[in-house]
Structure 1
Amino acid sequence: MTKSFCLLSSICLCLFLTVACQSQNFDNELATKQKNLPVSYSSNVLNITLIQHDSCPWSYFWCVVEKGINDAAKDLKVNVKLLRPSETPYKPSEQKELIEKALKDNPDGIGVTLTDRKLFREPLTTFLEDHQDDRKSRIPVIAYNAGNSPDKDDIPYDIYIGQDEEKAGYEAGKKLVELARLKSSGKRGVCINHQEDTENLQARCRGFENALRDEGIPYFTIITKDNPKNIKEEIEKDYQTHKNTDIVLSLGQIGAAPFYEFMEDNKLESSQIFHATFDLSKTIINNIENGRTLFAIDQQPYLQGYMVVQWLALIKNHNFTPPGKVISTGPSFVDKDNLDKVKQQVGQYR
């Protein structure tokens, strides 16, 4: 009985060792084969063109977007050409000319900030219809930062990467009203649009106006030229005739900085005007800390820049299908409660 058991145990042990060795050999062989597999990326370096309505260093926000673009280009080993209108203030017609020029060059992928869908629709749609027959040779087009979706914009591009601007404006307006009413305020609201010819900023103010209309609060949109002096003058002019204004939304650092100067010049306290702004900067962070700004709406600009390059490369190299027609990067709200989580990232990734 004991001898039989020992013999059986020895046979089982040999079988186990044989299987284990074979399994190890198989794993090593598989690892070697996988290691020697050819890289699936195209051997040719991709050439991507991005056409946007603003850029660094003129806009703090766009420095963060472009860091994402540059990091993605480096990580994915692609060439990126960045085009922006040279005239100030911004003119959509000049961006349209840049789009048409880029389309004629037939790059491997195109990204565009869709600030005027009506103006840009014809050249983009014609190009897309002419270059989408063969999936392997087609040229992907992505809208980023400014846009809605291929369906809403009625342009058959691949995806929109950014935030829902009207929704963001609406949520900001609702939140401002709630905070104002806690202090028995909420008499009149103002949205500061520092770039009148961009549809994404118009959508932010439209959302803000809808939120205040729902609450029965009068509202007004200040439309200014894209320079701090003019913005401050227009804020001042409106306030002198409407001193009951106690809710203000600015649409970025360009509008927020003149607002802070206006508050200081008029010796107004944060308890007198409830302020929020889109986007982040060191100046905005400081004003959230001192209570002058209640919150900022963050749309993760670094992600917008990185992902437009990433997805153009993925679609062109692998024919990948994005997870949806919209990749949402916002909105999210930054206030005193969660400021520490993002404070160190401002200027780099936020």
Structure 2
Amino acid sequence: MNTIFKTLAATALAVASTVGAAQAEGERYVLVSHAPDSDSWWNTIKNGLALGCEQMDVECEYRNPPTGDLADMARIIEQAAASGPDGIITTLADPDVLSGPIRNAVESGIDVIIINSGTPDEAREIGALMYVGQPEYDAGFAAGQRAAGDGIESFLCVNHYIAQPASTQRCQGFADGLGVELGNQMVDSGQDPSEIQNRVMAYLNANPDTDAVLTLGPTSADPTILALDQMGLAGDIYFGTFDLGGDIVGAIRDGVIEWGIDQQPFLQAYLPVVVLTNYHRFGVLPGNNINSGPGFVTADALDLVAELAGEYR
């Protein structure tokens, strides 16, 4: 663990020790995500949850729908609430599907923090304590403005989780940042790596004048790296992505990917545990929501990120 995290851990442990002497322990928190089992990006979320719970000396559990089905996620939230935890940390991947179960949990007296998906306004509307995450449209818009400054006018957005509205918000924000229509520049790639690779190649073969490719995380970025390499376009076509992972970091270093948008998933799980524990033990709560991103990771500052990618970044 690097120096920053060692310092953070030591500080949190000291706080936890003081808390243990002054307050009863035994808080229990459940984090419910929308991620399918196949999405390795969420390992960083799990690491943040585990470290936060260890340091604050609380019991925690991670739950998710194995296939990413949001109706299944809604049932998991209901089950988590029925188990009577002190708090639920959850994503708001689709307000139409998830707002009801989350609002019911709040009304039953369970404190909720929304992370990752959704917006601060949506979190407030359903009664959550706060929001910790990256507003997805804003992140996409910032990426689009950055790409526009680099001369980009057209793109392919590889959407591997089109059932989640936040994914489309990323693509739409990018298009708006460029000042162009999204139209058919977004494709539903699915989550199978071979299918993603084939669909990227098919689109670029049919649209050879495409200036750029935007992917929404390692699930779509990793096969796209392979597709561009097979087509002889690696390093020649403008390529940006959301989120980080080992292959993404390597592609940034090699000049294949221009930038990765880091929403700092570690903080999205770690901070809610700290916030909830201090709220339940001392009644203190930050006055504002926490934007964990976006931050652009480029080849200019890659060493520390590369060391921690997939674990804490």
Q: Normalising to structure 1: TM-score of the pair? A: 0.79
3-state SS, counterpart of residue 169 of structure 1 = helix
Say if 1:81 and 1:332 are closer, same or farther in 2 by CA, change over 3 A. same
CA distance in 2 between counterparts of 1:152 and 1:37 reads: 28
1:174 to 116, 139, 145: 145
Q: In the TM superposition, what are the counterparts of 1:1-350 in structure 2 within 5 Å?
A: 39-41=21-23, 43-54=24-35, 58-86=38-66, 88=67, 90-131=68-109, 139-151=110-122, 154-179=125-150, 181=151, 186-212=152-178, 214=179, 220-271=185-236, 273-324=237-288, 326-350=289-313
CA distance in 2 between counterparts of 1:227 and 1:217 reads: 24
| Misfit runs of 4+, over 2 Å | 35-41, 150-154, 215-219, 340-343
Unaligned runs of 5+ in 2: 1-16
CA distance in 1 between counterparts of 2:310 and 2:123 reads: 32
The Cα of 1:221 is off from its aligned counterpart by 0.5
Say if 1:130 and 1:305 are closer, same or farther in 2 by CA, change over 3 A. closer
AA at the equivalent of 2:294: P
Question: Alpha-carbon deviations, 1:256-283, whole Å to 9, x = none?
Answer: 1111111111112422x10011111121
Question: Alpha-carbon deviations, 1:270-303, whole Å to 9, x = none?
Answer: 22x1001111112111111111100110111111
CA distance in 2 between counterparts of 1:295 and 1:255 reads: 15
Say if 1:269 and 1:77 are closer, same or farther in 2 by CA, change over 3 A. closer
The Cα of 1:72 is off from its aligned counterpart by 0.7
Unaligned runs of 5+ in 1: 1-34, 132-138
AA at the equivalent of 1:267: G
**Count of matched residue pairs:** 297
CA distance in 2 between counterparts of 1:164 and 1:318 reads: 29
The Cα of 1:124 is off from its aligned counterpart by 1.8
Say if 1:245 and 1:76 are closer, same or farther in 2 by CA, change over 3 A. same
Say if 1:104 and 1:234 are closer, same or farther in 2 by CA, change over 3 A. same
AA at the equivalent of 1:115: A
Q: Normalising to structure 2: TM-score of the pair? A: 0.88
CA distance in 1 between counterparts of 2:309 and 2:19 reads: 41
3-state SS, counterpart of residue 118 of structure 2 = coil
2:158·2:216 contact (CA, 8 Å) conserved in 1? Answer: yes
1:150·1:156 contact (CA, 8 Å) conserved in 2? Answer: no
CA distance in 2 between counterparts of 1:68 and 1:151 reads: 24
Say if 1:55 and 1:322 are closer, same or farther in 2 by CA, change over 3 A. farther
The Cα of 1:150 is off from its aligned counterpart by 4.3
1:140·1:315 contact (CA, 8 Å) conserved in 2? Answer: no
- 1:28 is aligned to none
